[in-house]
Amino acid sequence: MSDEFHKTVVDNIASGVYYVDRSRRITYWNRGAERITGYDAREVVGRHCYANILAHVDDAGNALCHGACPLAATISDGDQREADVWLRHRDGHRRPVRVRAAAIRDDAGRIVGAVEVFDDATALIEARADVAAARHVALTDPLTELANRRAFDEALAARIQKLLRHGWPFALLLADIDHFKALNDRHGHAAGDRALQVVAASLRDAARAGDLVCRWGGEEFAILVDGGGAASAAAAAERFRVMVARSVVVVDDARLRTTISLGVAVAGIGEAAPWLMGRADAALYAAKAGGRNAVVVSGASGPP
């Protein structure tokens, strides 16, 4: 088949295709490349691909044309490559593309250039964003915007495995809003919802890197705290307690104060989730029975 036939075929595929020689001078630019980039072949053929034409960058905005260029690397070692990058369209905006680079060799097997095939990845990016948004909805409590019980169950299972395999310690804190039913009965459910939001925000903002704060259900919250033993877990629980106690729930003209009680259980290696939850819940009950607005730490871990 003639070169003209091959050119006709490549010109009419949807993907962008361009060829470069060893110096990365563009020798061919198909119609797909024109459509995706906005550049006519007459504007780019004969120019070097690194001459600030498409100005490829990665997700972090790092320029690739004069550094980590997949096409240049393929010309250098002959290996095929794929990458997700962002090109600059002729009108100035950035467009995500999936690029694939392959070496072009002469009859003696020497690399004489390379071909890059690229496709608009906008639909893929949007699909990923839709999946991420759906997962966020599935794992988030709508009232407090905290992680929900499903997210907590996943995180707890992961931490139990990390403790078992790598010895990475963590503690479980269960927190309950004190006298929540009385607040609801006296001020109404809107006030109760607002109290839940204020407590949730105070807990979230008091958390450290690595902590996970979840709404467990009703007026109860579950917190996973990484690292340390009973003393550090108790200190974390005390920080959460104080921050909530010093917050204010504003409802109409009223400024209401609320407190939380917390039960703390440091996970034991091999301890099953139900035992850990049971110990934290028993400690929480002891904190409420002892007068509320308090922290109680559970004793030794339970059976696996």
| Catalytic residue set | 219
Task: Please tell me the distance from the alpha carbon of residue 47 to that of residue 22, in angstroms, as a whole number.
Answer: 13
Task: Please tell me the distance from the alpha carbon of residue 176 to that of residue 199, in angstroms, as a whole number.
Answer: 10
Q: Which of 75, 266, 247 is nearest to 177 (CA)?
A: 247
198: CB partners within 8 A, 6+ apart? 247, 248, 249, 258
* β partners of residue 87: 95
Q: What does each C-alpha distance from 29 to 25, 42, 66, 210 come to in angstroms?
A: 11, 9, 21, 49
Chain centroid, CA 118 distance in Å: 26
Task: Please tell me the distance from the alpha carbon of residue 101 to that of residue 158, in angstroms, as a whole number.
Answer: 38
